[in-house]
Structure 1
Amino acid sequence: MAYMEEIRELVGTRPLIMVGSAVLVTNEQHEILLQLRSDTGDWGVPGGAMEPGETIEETAARELLEETGLSSRNLRFLGVLSGKEFYYRYPHGDEVYNVIHVFQTDRVQGELQTDDEGIALKYFPIDRLPKLNMTAENILRSFFVTLTE
């Protein structure tokens, strides 16, 4: 059983502080890779929660591989995001305040493939993004000044 599932058994849906990573993957056309989430039906950035014993870089690499089928040896740290803007309530009721370590890469290996958290993966031009979940919108707004309000 994963760490967060064990914690949820103890605290139920009450808000938790969740430390994790997100990876902004860009291609040669400077488009960004997004994941259509199976739980919310909106688009997000690949990433997820840290597991016990992992470094935050290992979390980023693991989540990138699990959610996209891609790997990268060139993850560049951009910064840490937290605060009330990164509160999230999952459709099933779990609440979290995310502390997100954001990485970026434009060099990946592998073939795009979804996992059970995603329905689709697609690259989008930054000026023509689909409906994003609030967390992805806040991440992109923090690191891409061209993202409109």
Structure 2
Amino acid sequence: MPMGSYLSRLRELVGDMDLLLVAASVLVFDEQDRLLLHHRTDNDKWGIPGGYLEPGELVEEAARREVMEETGLTLGKLELFGIYSGPERQVKLPNGHRISNFKTVFMCREFYGKPTSETVDGESKDVRFFSLQEIPDNFFEAQRHILEDLRSGLKPPFIK
């Protein structure tokens, strides 16, 4: 979760105060029903591509932009997977700042391009598809609830 220009400016104004931030992520699946993950540079964990909205940005635009920035893929049709909020979504960032996330998660099975970690923003060490049974042990804990919902067998969308 790199600090974008909006978040950096906000932090300058409020210091270490807890912030409520709006985020978007996408569960991207390939034709073998494997999930796309990226090995994050900020915390050295594997995670679901996504990030924070900029002021005036639509949540779907942010989801598409973040996936492009982190994986190099252009997404096709997005479907709502879930909306997550509440005390369980409070996290402490590697820099020590605390935030509460309001996150919209989409699913996508239609994409263009080839996944790559060689993107402009440098947020990804590696980008790969994994079966749900082979998710790396060093998966980003703050996103584990999304995997649990995905594996639950229940029909989305999840509102929590």
**Same structural fold, with TM-score higher than 0.5 when normalized by the shorter chain:** yes
Partner of 2:10: helix, strand, or coil? helix
Provide, for residues 90-137 of structure 1, a one-character-per-residue CA deviation record: whole Å limited to 9, x for no partner: 111121111110001011101222242111111111011112112221
Give me the whole-angstrom Cα distance separating, in 1, the residues matched to 2:31 and 2:48.
18
Partner of 2:145: 138
Structure 2 residue corresponding to 1:74, chosen from 73, 77, 83? 77
Letter of the structure 2 residue corresponding to residue 2 of structure 1: S
Q: 1:122 aligned to 2:128?
A: yes
Letter of the structure 1 residue corresponding to residue 43 of structure 2: T
TM-score normalised over the length of structure 1: 0.92
Structure 2 residue corresponding to 1:111, chosen from 92, 100, 114? 114
Letter of the structure 1 residue corresponding to residue 146 of structure 2: I
Letter of the structure 2 residue corresponding to residue 31 of structure 1: R
Once the two structures are TM-superposed, the CA of residue 57 in structure 1 deviates from its matched residue by 0.7
TM-score normalised over the length of structure 2: 0.86
Letter of the structure 2 residue corresponding to residue 120 of structure 1: D
Once the two structures are TM-superposed, the CA of residue 11 in structure 1 deviates from its matched residue by 1.5
Provide, for residues 42-92 of structure 1, a one-character-per-residue CA deviation record: whole Å limited to 9, x for no partner: 111100001111111111111111111001121111221111221111111
Partner of 1:15: 18
Partner of 1:138: helix, strand, or coil? helix
Partner of 2:60: helix, strand, or coil? helix
Q: Which aligned runs of 4 or more in structure 1 are off by greater than 6 angstroms?
A: none
Task: Summarize the alignment of residues 58-73 of structure 1 with structure 2, pairs less than 5 Å apart.
Answer: 58-73=61-76
Kept in 2, the 8 Å contact 1:44–1:135? The answer is no
Partner of 1:48: 51
Q: 1:39 aligned to 2:39?
A: no
Cα RMSD of the aligned pairs, angstroms, is 1.4
- Structure 2 residue runs of 5 or longer lacking an equivalent are 154-160
